[in-house]
């Protein structure tokens, strides 16, 4: 699905925030929404990385949480998972998403070792929540603890050599 006009505007508002950082490397999901977001925030030399794609929802692809909960009351993606889908979208477990996140984090670490700037990831909410959990040494399911808003920037960093959340759901300051 393409970005909505609201999504495009949210991305454009991030430009000053993104430009305030020295970008050393950029990785982007191959999915259209992420690639369009990268372009809108002024990133044109991103490396497309299939490991950054969103969680494969299997048989729940395109189905809202409310619709799923009609037949599975209390269902929650991070703890209850998905049902198998068609061959093109068989679905993923939290562990499988966590394995992809671990691969991305290895690529981020390699990029950080070879650049002076930050590494920017342009991807998708559920995947980035799992990636955050994995960076912090938590199980993939712990991504449930990190609510992630659209049109925001999140920063992972270190303190005394240990992974930390350095900023979360950061929105650009409104123009006066």
pLDDT tens digit string along 3-15?
999 999 999 999 9
pTM of the predicted protein model? 0.95
Mean pLDDT (whole number) for 38-48: 95
Structural tokens at position 38: 């990268």
> Does residue 175 lie within any of the structural domains?
no
% pLDDT > 70, the chain: 99
Does the residue 150 lie in any domain? yes
Q: Pairing between strand 162-170 and 47-48?
A: unpaired
Which pLDDT band holds residue 53 (cuts at 50, 70, 90)?
Answer: very high
Residue 87 domain-assigned (yes or no):
no
Residue 108: pLDDT band with limits 50, 70, 90: very high
75 part of a folded domain: no
| Residue range 91-105: mean pLDDT, rounded | 98
Does 21 reside within a domain? yes
Domain holding 16, by residue range, is 5-55+92-170
Report the pLDDT value the prediction gives residue 174, as an integer from 0 to 100: 73
Domain assignment present for residue 70? The answer is no
pLDDT of residue 173: 81
pLDDT in the model for residue 175 = 61
Burial 73-89, CB ≥16 within 10 A → b, else e = eeeebbeebbeebeeeb
How does the average pLDDT of the chain come out, rounded? 96
pLDDT band at residue 140 using 50, 70 and 90 as cut-offs: very high
Q: Indicate which CATH number applies to the domain containing 149.
A: 3.40.50.1240
* Contacts (Cβ under 8 Å, ≥6 apart) of 82: 55, 56, 57, 58, 59, 60, 91, 92
pLDDT of 176 over the 60 cut: no
Region 44-63: mean pLDDT is 96
The domain total for the chain is 1
Residue 63 is assigned to a structural domain of this protein = no
Q: Report the Cα 81 to chain-centroid distance in Å.
A: 18
Mean pLDDT on 16-31: 96
Strand 47-48 vs strand 118-122: parallel, antiparallel, or unpaired?
unpaired
Q: Is residue 158 part of a domain?
A: yes
Give the phi and the psi of residue 27 in degrees, each rounded to 5. -120, 140
**Given a cut of 90, is residue 1 above it in pLDDT?**
no
């Amino acid at each position: 699905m393409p970005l909505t006009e609201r999504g495009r505007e949210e991305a454009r508002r991030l430009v000053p925030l993104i430009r305030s950082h020295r970008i050393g490397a950029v990785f982007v999901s191959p999915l259209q929404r992420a690639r369009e977001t990268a372009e809108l925030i002024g990133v044109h030399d991103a490396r497309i990385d299939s490991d950054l794609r969103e969680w494969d929802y299997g048989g729940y692809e395109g189905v809202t949480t409310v619709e799923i909960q009609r037949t599975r009351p209390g269902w929650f993606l991070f703890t209850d998972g998905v049902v198998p889908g068609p061959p093109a979208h068989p679905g993923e477990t939290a562990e499988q998403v966590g394995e992809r996140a671990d691969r991305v984090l290895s690529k981020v670490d390699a990029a950080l070792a070879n650049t002076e700037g930050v590494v920017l990831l342009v991807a998708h909410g559920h995947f980035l929540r799992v990636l955050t959990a994995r960076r912090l040494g938590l199980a993939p399911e712990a991504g449930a603890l990190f609510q992630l808003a659209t049109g925001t920037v999140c920063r992972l960093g270190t303190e005394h050599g240990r992974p930390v959340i350095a900023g979360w759901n950061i929105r650009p300051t409104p123009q006066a």
